Amino acid sequence: MKPIPYGRQEITASDIQAVTSVLTSDYLTQGPNIKAFEDAFAAYIGAKYAVAVSNGTAALHLAAMAAGVKPGDRVITTPITFAASANCVRYCGGEVVFADIDPDTFLLDINKVRALLEQHPRNTFQGIIPVDFAGYPVDMEAFRTLADEYGMWIIEDACHAPGAWFTDSKGVRQMAGNGVYADLAIYSFHPVKHIAAGEGGMITTNDETLYKKLLTLRTHGITKNQNDFSNSLEMATGVPGMETGTFPGWYMEMQDLGFNYRLTDFQAALGLSQLQRADEGLMRRVEIARVYDQAFQHNDKIECQQLQLKERDLEHAYHLYVIKLADRLGLYNYLKEKNIYAQVHYFPTHLMPYYRQQGWKPGDFPLAEKYYSQCLSLPMFPSLTEKEQTFVIDQINQFLTSK
Ligand X SMILES: *Cc1c(COP(=O)(O)O)cnc(C)c1O
Residue ranges in contact with ligand X by CB under 6 A? 55-57, 81-82, 84-85, 131, 157, 159-160, 188, 190, 201
CB of 176 to ligand X, least distance (A): 12
Q: Nearest to residue 342, comparing CAs of 315, 379, 296?
A: 379
- CA-to-CA distance for 166 and 178, rounded, in angstroms? 11
Rank residues 112 and 193 by Cβ distance to ligand X and give the closer one: 193
Rank residues 202 and 233 by Cβ distance to ligand X and give the closer one: 202
Sign of CA dihedral 60, 61, 62, 67: positive
Rank residues 55 and 178 by Cβ distance to ligand X and give the closer one: 55
Q: Nearest to residue 39, comparing CAs of 227, 277, 211, 213?
A: 211
* Residues whose CB falls within 8 Å of the CB of residue 17, separated by 6 or more in sequence, listed in order: 273
Sheet containing 49-53: order of strands: 49-53, 201-205, 184-188, 153-157, 127-129, 74-77, 95-98
For residues 384 and 332, is the Cβ–Cβ distance under 8 A?
Answer: no
For residues 38 and 51, is the Cβ–Cβ distance under 8 A?
Answer: yes
- CA-to-CA distance for 79 and 346, rounded, in angstroms? 8
Rank residues 108 and 314 by Cβ distance to ligand X and give the closer one: 108
Using CB positions, name the residue nearest to ligand X.
Answer: 56
Q: Nearest to residue 203, comparing CAs of 192, 216, 222, 221?
A: 216
CB of 40 to ligand X, least distance (A): 19
CB of 193 to ligand X, least distance (A): 6
CB of 81 to ligand X, least distance (A): 5
CB of 135 to ligand X, least distance (A): 10
Q: Nearest to residue 106, comparing CAs of 311, 357, 308, 358?
A: 308
For residues 203 and 216, is the Cβ–Cβ distance under 8 A?
Answer: no
Rank residues 38 and 253 by Cβ distance to ligand X and give the closer one: 38
In angstroms, what is the C-alpha Rg of the chain? 23
* Phi, psi dihedral angles at 40 (to 5 degrees): -65, -40
Rank residues 108 and 289 by Cβ distance to ligand X and give the closer one: 108
Rank residues 99 and 295 by Cβ distance to ligand X and give the closer one: 99
For residues 270 and 198, is the Cβ–Cβ distance under 8 A?
Answer: yes
Sign of CA dihedral 337, 318, 177, 126: negative
CB of 79 to ligand X, least distance (A): 12
Q: What is the largest CA-CA distance in the chain?
A: 88
Rank residues 81 and 223 by Cβ distance to ligand X and give the closer one: 81
Rank residues 113 and 131 by Cβ distance to ligand X and give the closer one: 131
CB of 163 to ligand X, least distance (A): 15
Rank residues 160 and 262 by Cβ distance to ligand X and give the closer one: 160
Strand, coil or helix: 280: helix
CB of 11 to ligand X, least distance (A): 18
CB of 242 to ligand X, least distance (A): 45
CB of 244 to ligand X, least distance (A): 47
